[in-house]
Structure 1
Amino acid sequence: MTEEVAALVGSVAGVKKVAVLDYGSGNLRSAERALARVGADVTVTSDAQTALDADGLVVPGVGAFAACMEGLKAVDGPRIIGRRLAGGRPVLGICVGMQILFDRGVEHGHDAEGCGEWPGVVEQLQAPVLPHMGWNQVDVAPGSVLFDGIENERFYFVHSYGVRDFVLGQGGGPSPLPKPKVTWAEHGDRFVAGVENTALSATQFHPEKSGDAGAQLLTNWLNTLD
């Protein structure tokens, strides 16, 4: 553990109980270790009540959109996410765990339904080299909490698909709800790298693989938990 990460452990305001949702997809143990390193009390679980009761829920994801949705439905994941958000209980999606929060995913000609928490389509990036694998900077949304103090850092991505157009809250009319904070990145194409939308947050990159910058992002998220 670096001195920087060790310092982060002490910066989390109280020990937070975090559930990492096990639905058969994702770097579960990597996420568990990364969260524990920054001071969270972490449980990897497929149990609905445990996921509902935790201070924060992390939804990881690796692989095909449709397969991830099948696994998520098998553990009642869409209902768990929906119930938590209805009560203002924080959820953090990572990689495909972010993608499944959108309306649809189109992959290899297969159009699959997502959780529908955000409007939008996950589709293949228009880039000369895929997958997009490695470290990349991001264009951080003004007022971001997740990226506070790490606005100029690089994060680790592994993906070929993404959301290229984020439409929620982009209209010109007044709205009683806060406008989502959307962070972008580029790899041949511009795509959504992160979203902060009240209790629901997500990153396309892997904070658990992003070194000290990822550790700070997870710490920032933990500090939003009640």
Structure 2
Amino acid sequence: MIGIVDYGRGNLRSVEKALEKLGFEAGILRSPDELKKTDGLILPGVGAFADAMEALNREGWVQPLRDYAGSGRPFLGICLGMQLLFEMGEEHGEHPGLGLLPGRVVKFPAGLKIPHMGWNTLRLVRESPLTAGIPDNSYFYFVHSYYAQADEDCIAGVSEYGITFPAFTGRDNIWGAQFHPEKSSPWGLVMLKNFGKWVGEHEHISGN
């Protein structure tokens, strides 16, 4: 099963419906104790970095999510959920993130209209199991005012909005999409399908 973390900061049902439409078993997790029943995990998110980390800490998710990432099971962050994968966020002061990927989350430069909202292209710069079959410069749907300054070896796709910014990041079993794949039909659904297939392959290999 693919778990979707509920910490009060995400479009949970839209992600769950997209996965179910693709034929995958998915469920919303309301407690870290439920992580043990999942074979893959999605961390969604909408809103402010500091508020989201405060909610994850308050509800006891932070160390279980770090442990989950360390288990090797597929892990995908979406929008704010991607930003939370990094070490630090600068929204309303400096706040530590989950620290699963190297880098920090910063505001778009002054002079740009924010949030960056709407359809934009994704230029692929490195292979990922989640982008198989997705053409370069395909369109995805974005809504965000901050972006990740990620280490180069974690950048798998970039977009342009006044600057070139990382739009798809990750390595090993941990990946993040700054855009909303669940709102980015058809290529967003291809990405979620790739994630579901990857979860199934990992489940088969691990014997769970």
* TM score, norm. by length of structure 1: 0.83
Deviations 1:169-223 (A, max 9, x none): x5xxxxxxxx545211111112111123111111000001101111100011111
Task: Give the secondary-structure state (helix, strand or coil) at the position aligned to 1:62.
Answer: coil
In structure 2, the partner of 1:54 is 38
Distance (Å, rounded) in 2 between the aligned partners of 1:191 and 1:137: 12
Q: Read off the aligned partner of 2:120 and give its amino acid letter.
A: N
Kindly report the root-mean-square deviation, in angstroms, between the aligned alpha carbons of the 2 structures.
1.5
Q: Does 1:104 align with 2:88?
A: yes
Is 2:109 the counterpart of 1:123? Answer: no
| Residue aligned with 2:150, SS | coil
**Aligned partner of 1:213 among 165, 187, 192:** 187
Cα distance in 1 between the residues matched to 2:36 and 2:177: 21
User: Which residue does the alignment assign to 2:61?
Assistant: 77
> Which of 189, 197, 205 is 2:171 aligned to?
197
Q: How many residues align?
A: 198
The answer (yes or no) to whether the contact 2:124–2:157 under 8 Å persists in 1 is: yes
Distance in 1, Cα, partners of 2:50 & 2:95 = 6
- In the alignment, which residue of structure 1 is the partner of 2:144? 159
Distance 2:154 2:48 in 1: 26
Larger radius of gyration: 1
Code of the residue aligned with 2:144 in structure 1: it is: H
Match of 2:205 in 1: none
Partners of 1:82 and 1:205 in 2: how far apart? 22
Q: Within the alignment, does 1:136 sit opposite 2:120 as a pair?
A: yes
For residue 77 of structure 1, report the CA deviation from its aligned partner: 1.9
3-state secondary structure, aligned to 2:119: strand
C-alpha deviations, 1:131-186, integer Å up to 9, x for none? 100000011123232111113320000001001x322xx5xxxxxxxx54521111
Q: Deviations over 1:90-109 (max 9, x none)?
A: 1110000010111111114x
Q: Secondary structure at the match of 1:148?
A: coil
Q: TM-score, normalised by structure 2?
A: 0.90
Q: Is contact 2:3-2:29 (8 Å) kept?
A: yes
* Post-superposition CA distance 1:72-92 (Å, at most 9, x none): 112322212211122111111
Residue 23 of structure 1 corresponds to which residue in structure 2?
7
Match of 2:132 among 134, 140, 148: 148
Q: Which runs of 5+ in 1 are unaligned?
A: 1-16, 171-178
CA contact (8 A) 1:196 1:202 kept: yes
